[in-house]
Structure 1
Amino acid sequence: MSNNNSSSSNVVAAQKIVKQLRLEAKIRRIHVSQAATDLKNFCLQNAHKDPLLMGVPSSDNPFRPPTSCRLL
C-alpha cells in the first residue's frame, strides 16, 4: 500500500515539475547583448535625473546637516 502512495506522490511531483517547465518555456527571452544595450541606453537617457550622478541641491536635501539657530 505504501508503495502505491509513494508512486502516486512521485507522479504528482513530476506533473508539477512538468507544468512549471512548460510555463518557463513560454517566457520570451532576449540575448544578453540586447539586454545590456537596452540597459545602457536607459541609463544614459535618465542620467540627468539621477541624484547620485548630478547631486542634490542643498535646499532640497533632507539629509543636510542642521543649521544652528541664532537669536538677533
Structure 2
Amino acid sequence: MPNNNASTTLATTHKAVKQLRLEASVRRINVSQAATDLKNFCLQNAHKDPLLMGVPSGDNPFRPPKSCGLL
C-alpha cells in the first residue's frame, strides 16, 4: 500500500504544479491600473445603473401591487 499512497501524493503534486504554472502564466496588470479602469467603466455606465438612477415605476417588476378598488 505505501506505493499507492506515494503515487497519490505524486499525482496531487503534479496537479498542484500544473495549476501554479497556469496561474503564473496569466497576464497581470497593476492594481492602480485596474482601479482606474474600473472607475472609468463605472462613470461611463452610471446613467444605465438602476441603483444610481432609479427604476421607472412602469418597468419595475418588484413594485408593490396596486390595491384593488373592488371590495
**TM value normalised by structure 2:** 0.78
Residue ranges of structure 1 left out of the alignment (5+ in a row): none
Structure 1 CA distance for aligned equivalents of residues 8 and 62 of structure 2? 57
CA deviation digits over 1:15-52, x for unaligned, max 9? 11111111111111111111111111000000000111
The Cα of 1:67 is off from its aligned counterpart by 3.2
Q: Secondary structure at the match of 2:28?
A: coil
Greater C-alpha Rg: 1
Return closer, same or farther for 1:67/1:5 CA change in 2, 3 Å cut-off: closer
The Cα of 1:68 is off from its aligned counterpart by 4.1
Structure 2 CA distance for aligned equivalents of residues 3 and 68 of structure 1? 73
Cα RMSD (Å): 1.9
Give the counterpart letter for 2:29 in structure 1: I
Structure 2 CA distance for aligned equivalents of residues 36 and 70 of structure 1? 52
Mean Cα deviation higher: 44-53 or 11-20: 11-20
Return closer, same or farther for 1:48/1:3 CA change in 2, 3 Å cut-off: same
Aligned pair count reads: 70
Mean Cα deviation higher: 56-65 or 33-42: 56-65
1:34 maps onto 2:33 in alignment: yes
Q: Give the corresponding residue for 2:2.
A: 3
1:62 maps onto 2:66 in alignment: no
Q: What percentage of aligned pairs have identical amino acids? A: 74
